[in-house]
Amino acid sequence: MDTNEFKEFAKSMADFIGNYLDNIRDRRVLPTVEPGYIRPLLPETAPEEGEKWQAVMDDLEKVIMPGVTHWHHPQFHAYFPTANSYPAIVADMLSGAIACIGFSWIASPACTELEVIMLDWLGKMLDLPAEFLACSNGKGGGVIQGTASEASLVALLGAKAKALRKAKELEPDTPEAVLTSNLVGYCSDQAHSSVERAGLLGGVKLRSVAAGDDYRLRGEALRTAIREDKEAGLTPFFVVATLGTTNCCAFDDLDEIGTVCRDEDVWLHVDAAYAGSAFICPEFRPLMKGIEKADSFNFNPHKWMLVNFDCSAMWLKDPNYVVNAFNVDPLYLKHEQQGNAPDYRHWQIPLGRRFRSLKLWFVMRIYGVKGLQAHIRRQVALAKQFECLVLKDNRFELVCPASMGLVCFRLKGSNEMNEILLKKINSHGTIHLVPSKIKDKYFLRMAVCSRFCQPADMELAFNEVASLASELTSILS
């Protein structure tokens, strides 16, 4: 493909993308294909001779679109949002063109330097304590991870390295394997499964502590668990607090948990994967009270801040524990500026990394802080609107008050009835929801996801739920 063909291809793709997103409402939000649907639509082997780009474009509607779940459809209300914006899409094109692998500063200085500054911009937008920011000229700084799962693992490995160093000083004759087997970390029983996975991958015990009736982990429950484990001879070393749980967007009491972590000299990591974006709005920041007591903080601009996947922002007050935990230093990766700027390969699991900060730069500049705040506030208001509709229909109950862009609700009655209702909703295909369960109570989650979502879409979503509930109750009665 020569440059002129590329330009035509890219323009044609830009048209396709614009039309796809403008007309996304006309598509069925959840596809109806069966597993294996693509095989009969494609040749058995790759073509021997290169094809024209037009032939590839022609196949998008035939092959790909029938099997796409349209996450940006205004009636997609499953999981949590994943971001999509034109500035981020265009930034990804440039990242693809530069196509550097920015593992060290010299591997592409702009890739590292823009990332340092974008994480400072973003940290200031959230009003993070200065200790987290590179511009404070302390040890702290930010990094873009691929996902919140990686951030939790990286934090856990940093905490493990710190705890083992301390344990070795106290017990120099005890084998490292024994010291490691004594380590124990904590999260609430509402934490995301990726936190449990970080414990498994990191080879340490992770104890799940029961959240309160309001689904929030409180300081006292954590303090009790730590005391019990210390009495049993274990070494508490790591706590994950969740701000915006996946089940129902509950906020652990960070202030209380932070105090316990300080008292016990335990690393505190904050997982705000979804809800962290809301902290760009000052009115939501009381929910992050106590953030100054955390050692690491993470949220996903790729969920709710209009930066396409993948872009998970993580800040560390002292990255040295992480840097030293994974430090391998072959000659072919060394360079003369080592020590004068971060080499991000030491802050993450893989070696390679894309130029992801371009997406943040484009999005923050083109939307501005005010534009991004308006996006968050609009979606929170839409969730409130849906909550009001639920409350007006006395067949339904809320599991908890709407939180951020999430409403958790159910038909009053059995789990089975709610399971049938959800099946009906998803097979009808007008809207898409997923369920969750807390303490054996099954419920439906309505997440405001698409940036195209309007008040009329909330009415439509609720009317769909209500009319399918009427069908269900008339069958059952």
Closest distance between ligand PLP and the C-beta of residue 221, in Å? 19
Judged by beta carbon, residue 116 or residue 154, the one nearer ligand PLP is 154
CA distance 15 to 19: 6
Q: Is the dihedral of CA 31, 89, 124, 380 positive or negative?
A: negative
Cα(251)–Cα(268) distance, integer angstroms: 15
Among 242, 296, 357, 450, binds ligand PLP (CB under 6 A): 242
Which residue, 115 or 271, has its beta carbon nearer to ligand PLP?
Answer: 271
Q: Tell me, what amino acid is at 174?
A: T
Q: Shortest approach of ligand PLP to residue 25 CB, angstroms?
A: 25
362 near ligand PLP (CB under 6 A): no
CA within 13 Å, CB half, 429: 11
What is the distance between the alpha carbons of residues 72 and 307, in angstroms, rounded to a whole number?
13
Nearer to ligand PLP, 212 or 413 (CB): 212
The single residue among 112, 235, 296, 312 that binds ligand PLP, judged by CB under 6 A, is 312
User: Based on CB atoms, which residue is closest to ligand PLP, 88 or 148?
Assistant: 148
Q: For ligand PLP, which is the closer residue by CB, 299 or 362?
A: 299
**DSSP character at residue 251:** B
Q: According to the binding rule CB under 6 A, does residue 315 interact with ligand PLP?
A: no
Count other C-beta atoms under 10 Å from residue 69's C-beta.
12
Q: Taking CB under 6 A as the rule, does residue 386 contact ligand PLP?
A: no
Number of Cβ within a 10 Å radius of residue 138: 13
Judged by CB under 6 A, the residue of 73, 162, 192, 410 near ligand PLP is 192
Q: Which two tokens stand for residue 351?
A: 């070696």
Task: Between 185 and 421, name the residue whose CB sits nearer to ligand PLP.
Answer: 185
Residue (204 or 270) nearer to ligand PLP, CB:
270
Q: 339 — alpha (psi -120 to 50), left (phi > 0) or beta?
A: left
Interface residue with ligand PLP among 76, 80, 132, 297 (CB under 6 A) is: 80
Question: 223: closest CA among 264, 195, 270, 189?
Answer: 264
Specify whether the CB–CB gap between 27 and 73 falls below 8 A: yes
Whichever of 358 and 404 has its CB closer to ligand PLP, that residue is 404
Q: Is 194 in the site for ligand PLP (CB under 6 A)?
A: yes
With respect to ligand PLP, which residue has the nearer C-beta, 193 or 474? 193
Q: Does 246 bind ligand PLP (CB under 6 A)?
A: yes
Q: Please state the closest distance from residue 361 (CB atom) to ligand PLP, in A.
A: 21
Kindly indicate which of the ranges 58-66, 204-212, 237-245, 253-261 contains the residues binding ligand PLP, using the contact rule CB under 6 A: 237-245
CA atoms within 13 A on the CB side of 108: 18
**Is the torsion defined by CA of 19, 22, 28, 33 positive or negative?**
positive
Strands 296-299 and 396-398: unpaired
Asked if 255 and 220 count as a contact pair (C-beta separation under 8 A), the reply is no
Q: Per CB under 6 A, does 148 bind ligand PLP?
A: yes
Q: Is 188 in the site for ligand PLP (CB under 6 A)?
A: no
**Shortest Å distance, C-beta 150 to ligand PLP:** 7
User: Residue 13 carries which DSSP code?
Assistant: H
Q: What is the largest CA-CA distance in the chain?
A: 77
C-beta of 307: minimal distance to ligand PLP in Å? 12
Two tokens, residue 88 = 């981020």
Span interacting with ligand PLP, options 98-106, 131-139, 155-163, 267-275, rule CB under 6 A: 267-275
Residue 201 CB, shortest distance to ligand PLP, in Å, is 13
Q: How far apart are CA 387 and CA 398, in angstroms?
A: 8
300 near ligand PLP (CB under 6 A)? yes
Does 273 interact with ligand PLP (rule: CB under 6 A)?
yes
- Stretch binding ligand PLP (CB under 6 A), from 130-138, 142-150, 229-237, 276-284: 142-150
At a CB cut-off of 8 Å and minimum separation 6, what does 359 contact? Answer: 87, 88, 91, 92, 95, 307, 308, 311
CB 64 within 8 A of CB 12: no
d(CA 73, CA 269) in angstroms, rounded, equals 33
When asked if residue 279 is in the footprint of ligand PLP (CB under 6 A), the reply is no
Q: Is residue 149 close enough to count as binding ligand PLP by CB under 6 A?
A: yes
Minimum Å gap between C-beta 53 and ligand PLP is: 32
Residues at the contact surface with ligand PLP, assessed by CB under 6 A: 80, 147-149, 192, 194, 242, 244-246, 271, 273-274, 300, 312
